[in-house]
Structure 1
């Protein structure tokens, strides 16, 4: 995997796991085949297109993929597995992250439902198993106890959470420490339009505890690509739920887009590539980006961000214009 391209960037460690991942991973929400949490958010992608998106991502140096039970109730996992098989990737040659859905469930289902995730991903295993959000029926301690049991059985390689606040991260880390383990990651929303993790304690806690942050929506659902500002008619092609969110954020994004465009010109890059570079390099090695792609070209173009090493001054410029 590491020899696919002659890359100018380095893999970085996921938490304290010793596992090296590309700073950008491919998100699989859009592979949900229009089902589950994708309804009204993503359109349909046929398997041929999924195969091409995954192949282009691999060719650009990506070595990990993020999906979830909620993404089509297994449809995204199944589509990803098929694409990896078509690309000739053998089990163990890439890193797969998926998530347990806690809605109306007790923590014991983390263990009992793992075979379902493995079934959809067959022949690939779950490397990073994540709690999709804290949930109401399962304490964080119980969640981590079940995750720790799977880790000790050799069923998973790392333990993660998603959408946890700072205090919840500390609870999870403390419980895993009691098992001699550590929390690898917290998957959170982070982009130039949403920097809450810098002020609500999540980023500070992650750095203190050695937990990686996996940034979802790093382009603000496409707003930070500049395409909707350049061509407002594109908005009518977007599924209705995403359309509403995008429309609300467009005005707020204009100064950021202007600055991204200015910096992109210095690198002969696209606006989206600079926005992704800010996510993965603006905070050292703490933040990884989960970049979605609905076309093969987009998948390949996203990865050019890996080679854009923004200067300290450029990062400061973007920080200033995006601080609200």
Structure 2
């Protein structure tokens, strides 16, 4: 058993826990994106944030589009309530590019800072690669924000290898690093290992921040144990094929192996998954599982209190390759 320590995010000087808290679920049911999750009570959200910090998670990932800033405001209010200093935790948020030009990045930064109650933006990310402006213009705008001290580091999200390389090259013109690329990645979705993105990220010293590491709960094993549970969930998950009772047997072999290791380490299946994520590729991958319950926040952090062996990591990897959901 070995507690996993903080690590540098990419080529930045920012050291953070390998597991952060994804805050999409704090959208309060606002806007189309926020309605993906049930609205949580303020007290529940505050406790989730507090417990995450108490158990070693020291950074949070949110976004403008999560409830039109609702998630950012919830996060900042909770940190204020618990008297968490500005530099005690790190905050990452994202600019939403849909139907916007790069000029919007600078024009809207004060709204993001206001939503976060003027807490530092440690990582500012382009949320998607579909702005009406070029990647070059977006990166130039982001570089200007960093030069002005309005953001501390620059990242992207959902960029493919080519787009990530272009963003990196543009920032390099100003001697600035592309610190991270936030993408979907899990044991059941390992496309970034086959399409060149992960290898390129390692080459560029750009950290990979993995969202949906538990495949929206599928990898927790709870739906394999009780397939009827999916009918009680919020959002579109109940209609996704991977959660259907006749599809669960496809991923059962992997989940069964994860359960064996969970029993061996006296932890949960989710903790085995998260531990694999933050260990298998050395220090290259960070993960941002969400939490809608305090117990889940505790589990997320608990995944950093032990380390799977190299042999165990490889065995899980081999089993996962047999049951990939995405080709």
Shorter-normalised TM range: over 0.9
Looking at structure 1, the residues matched to 63 and 57 of structure 2 have their Cα atoms a distance apart, in angstroms, of 18
Give the corresponding residue for 1:26: 21
Aligned to 1:145: 140
Aligned-CA RMSD value? 1.3
Residue correspondence of structure 1 range 1-324 to structure 2 within 5 A: 8-245=3-240, 246-247=242-243, 250-323=248-321, 324=324
- Residues 188, 215 of structure 1: 8 Å contact kept: yes
Q: Distance in 2 between matches of 1:110 and 1:136?
A: 11
* Bigger shift: residues 127-136 or 199-208: 127-136
Shift of 1:94: 1.1
Q: Is the 8 A contact 1:34 1:44 kept in 2?
A: yes
- Write the distance in 2 (CA, Å) between the matches of 1:188 and 1:81: 24
Instruction: Count how many residue pairs are aligned between Structure 1 and Structure 2.
Output: 318
Q: CA deviation at 1:250?
A: 3.1
**Distance across 1 between alignment mates of 2:260 and 2:191:** 25
- Uncovered stretches (5+) of structure 2, i.e. residues with no partner: none
Q: Deviations over 1:148-176 (max 9, x none)?
A: 00000011110000000011111000000
Deviation at 1:191, TM superposition (A): 0.8
Shift of 1:136: 4.0
Structure 1: distance between partners of 2:315 and 2:7 = 25
Unaligned runs of 5+ in 1: 1-6
2: CA distance, partners of 1:18 / 1:208:
18
1:56 match: secondary structure: helix
Q: Per-residue deviation at 1:297? A: 1.2
Contact 1:15–1:210 (CA<8 Å) still a contact in 2? yes
How far 1:228 moved relative to its partner? 1.1
2:4 and 2:307 in contact (8 A); partners too: no
CA contact (8 A) 2:37 2:235 kept: no
Find the residue that maps to 1:51 and give its secondary structure: helix
CA-CA distance at 1:226 after TM superposition: 0.8
